[in-house]
Structure 1
Amino acid sequence: MDKNCIPYGSDVSGGRFKCQDCGHEMVMASASSLPPCPFYKEDTHPKKCWKNLTGRGDAPEDPYPGK
């Protein structure tokens, strides 16, 4: 489970997350899918992922949606 680059849309356990492209931070409740960064733009967000700062991060049941 990669806590440094959790893709948009991944199911996560609750915690605090930081956008790997712009540094925006947010808190998510348990059993939620990570949304895209609210400041997402195709040309400025090539990684399209979050870093897990607190909590357990990527949920083992669905670590990478659509894969």
Structure 2
Amino acid sequence: MLASVTGFISYEQVNINDLLNANVDALAQNETQPDLSDCVYDENYQCIALHPTDPNKDQVKDNARW
């Protein structure tokens, strides 16, 4: 016996940027930016604290490492 399934798919026009931003926001809801005060002195490195959603809020501490 052979069974078949038929159906349809409804397509909506979606702005891919809106979709990606919504996914990033959903994934980052419980994330916080690392605290640079946790870094220790090291003249050869930089501590970089990336903001979960806004690259303009990234922070850098010279001469330090995690």
- Place the TM-score, normalised by the shorter chain, in its bin: under 0.3
Greater strand content: 1
Q: Given the two structures, how large is their TM-score scaled by the length of structure 1?
A: 0.25
> RCO greater where, 1 or 2, for CA within 8 Å and sep 6 or more?
1
Greater helix content: 2
Greater C-alpha Rg: 2
